[in-house]
Amino acid sequence: MNKNDSFNGLDSFRIVAALMVVAIHTSPFTSLDTTADFIFTYVISRIAVPFFLMITGYFSLNKCLQDRETLLKFLIKNSKIYLMAIILYIPLNIYAKHFVQGNLPVDIIKAIIFDGTFYHLWYFPAVITGVLIVYFFRKKFNLKTTFTITLLLYLIGLFGDSYYGLISNNPYIAKFYDGIFSVSSYTRNGIFYAPIFLVMGEIIALRDSKISKPKYLTCFFTSLLLMVLEGLILYKFQIQRHNSMYLLLLPCMFFLFQLLVKYKGNTSKSIRSITLWIYLIHPIMIVVVRGIAEATNTRNILINNSFLHYLAVSSLSICFSSFIYYTMNHREKNTFHKGRAWTEIDLNALRVNVDTIKELLPPSCEFMAAVKANAYGHGAIRVSKELNKLGIKAFCVASILEGISLRKSGVSGEILILGYTHPKQFYLLKRYHLTQTVIDYNYANQLNDYGKSLPVHIKIDTGMHRLGENCEHIPKILGIFHMKNLEVKGIYTHLCVSDSHQSDDEAFTKLQIEKFYSVVQAIEEQGIVCPKVHIQSSYGAINYPFLQCDYARIGIALYGVFSEKDDSEKYSIPLKPALSVKARIQMTRQLSCGESMGYGLQFTAKRNTKVAVVSIGYADGIPRCLSNGMGHVLIRNKRANIIGRVCMDQMLVDITDIPDVQPNDIATIIGESGDERITAMDMAEQANTITNEILSRLGSRLEQIYLYK
């Protein structure tokens, strides 16, 4: 899935699709021309519901396949919406005298499972059933086979819908469909209709199309015109039992969706929510418009004129849906996240850094994002989701719990655990579709003894002597490939001095690389197809970009900084720091010359001094060694020294030479203020450590605010 950080085309078309659904239930051109109304309402507008199903397949299906809890969340969410809609439409059902004849319990069950308790609510049981069916087939078969099965289901449904007239005279086939109609009024349901569009959404999500927008546009309009022709032929010969399913609907939707994916721009959560509400409440608005027409004696305008009726229903639906959305989200929008201390993460900076690093690497090398340690303090879940949007589908973490957290949050793609996972947790690897590192031959045996197929990457020790099977133990490495329960998807090593340009270190790095490729050669000489290889981390990619690897594990550089400040001057690589740290000034106070303050009374004023108490401390990740003037912050575009000891929750800064500082002002600990700037690299240098440590130790109390600067 090659995605940028936006889906403007998809989001914008949601409104169009929602208004098409309104058109299906209001027939806007009936009073003008019945054929024109048929073409627009019962042919062209039939792309609306498949579009929504493909949206689900595109964004949700693969995540559901990788994590059962994500599937469960999806089912619960849609079931709650469906239940709310059922309750919402009880008064209208009573008013319309639905469910007053026949076998009431059976009719209600049939409506809930297939037809919907009101005419438009069939979508919710359809999407729930469809996802479950596709999930079942995808667990049993590959995507191609699943597509074939769902296509066959669609074709079966087609002859119970638009092509029913072709088979209705055959008593045996007609009896088969009568059996279907006894439990579901239409074949337009979660069994025959929804699955194919869900699968098509997943297919588009997984493919990286290079075809241009004009070609997709041409293909879409061609298939749409052919579908209109198909619909008119079926209409003329009165073949249709219903008119939701067409043969040409499939290519039409494929080309339309591919086209919309190509259009990038700012996304809108409000559009997504408002379109859902339009879908839910537009039948109520139809009743409201009719009521207004009766009350104001304007039937000729608001009812008999089908187009004005459609405009009135659409306008009311949009207005009420917008009102509901903004009312429900008013409290959320007013939630304040900058009360004490917080980080600001620029998601556009991540995109810049990804593009910058990709330019260093060979085109065939895939970006594997290191999001361990909460993405180096940047928030692993949000960062990983953003990277998913950028087309990145490979991640590495340190522990199984980090991997599970990503899966539970819907992050898709390969998640490689770099560290040790206890044998009692092996079942979690299977449950959450995580890839485990084989840290040595003995550990491989433990993984194999688990008895179920597990995807793994083999770690090779080429000289760091931390984790990994020794590169000289070729028979053991080959033995891992022959373990029946291990699906070896990758093999890698770690360069321990790739950041250094000292001649001895460069020679050692070269030796590590040679040792690793000798292992790869030995594997291939045994007739084993070598899996994906990866060697470089951030500095490996920067200093050895020419290496032909399948992955590069990018950590610190992804976040726009180097491990040491000097490196930012050595390399002319335009990385953009993504993170800022800020905190509130709680109060200011005057300190007379000779007075002391703070723990241990470490600071004694040598002049009358004005002090600000800043609401951040070492529990938030500020190194305690920055006490007593070793570190500083930015306030009102000027530097202020940290004085006294950094406390757990607070620290003191000297603001004597900064006028007009007030309580509630903001102190910038990492970031920019005017022309002044403190980077994480600056702080690391002051603390005599590396940037990686500074960022990864940022505390969980810091609220994370995500921006697109």
State how far the Cα of 105 lies from the Cα of 107, in Å rounded to an integer.
6
DSSP 325: H
Residues annotated as part of the active site: 372, 599
State how far the Cα of 493 lies from the Cα of 462, in Å rounded to an integer.
7
Per the CB < 8 A criterion, the answer to whether 515 and 491 are in contact is no
Sequence length of the chain is 709
Q: Which amino acid is at 141?
A: F
CA 443 to chain centre: 33
Angle value at C-alpha 369, between 685 and 201, nearest 5 degrees: 150
Q: CA 440 → CA 420, 456, 461, 532, distances in Å?
A: 10, 12, 9, 18
Per the CB < 8 A criterion, the answer to whether 667 and 635 are in contact is yes
Q: CA 180 → CA 30, 116, 129, 149, distances in Å?
A: 31, 16, 16, 18
* DSSP β-bridge partners for residue 492: 459, 534
Residue 648 is labelled as binding a ligand: yes
The structure tokens 């206890």 sit at 422
428: exposed, middle or buried (C-beta count within 10 Å: 0-12, 13-18, 19+)?
Answer: middle
Residues in contact with 535: Cβ distance below 8 Å, sequence separation at least 6, in sequence order: 492, 493, 494, 495, 513, 516, 544, 547, 549
Q: Which amino acid is at 329?
A: N
* DSSP β-bridge partners for residue 267: none
DSSP 214-254: HHHHHHHHHHHHHHHHHHHHHHHTT--S-SS--TTHHHHHH
Q: What sign does the CA torsion over 400, 401, 402, 405 have?
A: positive
Residue 553 is labelled as binding a ligand: no
Q: What sign does the CA torsion over 144, 146, 152, 157 have?
A: negative
DSSP 632: E
Per the CB < 8 A criterion, the answer to whether 588 and 661 are in contact is yes
State how far the Cα of 638 lies from the Cα of 406, in Å rounded to an integer.
39
Q: Which two tokens stand for residue 29?
A: 């051109």
Per the CB < 8 A criterion, the answer to whether 312 and 302 are in contact is yes
Q: Which amino acid is at 587?
A: M
CA 88 to chain centre: 31
Q: Which two tokens stand for residue 176?
A: 């088969």
Q: CA 483 → CA 436, 452, 476, 489, distances in Å?
A: 15, 11, 11, 13
Q: CA 644 → CA 519, 585, 684, distances in Å?
A: 55, 16, 19
Per the CB < 8 A criterion, the answer to whether 278 and 306 are in contact is no
CA 287 to chain centre: 38
DSSP H/E element including 314: helix 306-328
Residues in contact with 77: Cβ distance below 8 Å, sequence separation at least 6, in sequence order: none
DSSP 243-279: SS--TTHHHHHHHHHHHHHH------HHHHHHHHHHH
State how far the Cα of 233 lies from the Cα of 140, in Å rounded to an integer.
39
Q: Classify 544 as helix, strand or coil.
A: coil
Per the CB < 8 A criterion, the answer to whether 376 and 399 are in contact is no
Per the CB < 8 A criterion, the answer to whether 650 and 615 are in contact is yes
State how far the Cα of 701 lies from the Cα of 488, in Å rounded to an integer.
39
Q: Give the residue numbers of the binding site.
A: 466, 648
Q: Give the residue numbers of the binding site for substrate.
A: 466, 648
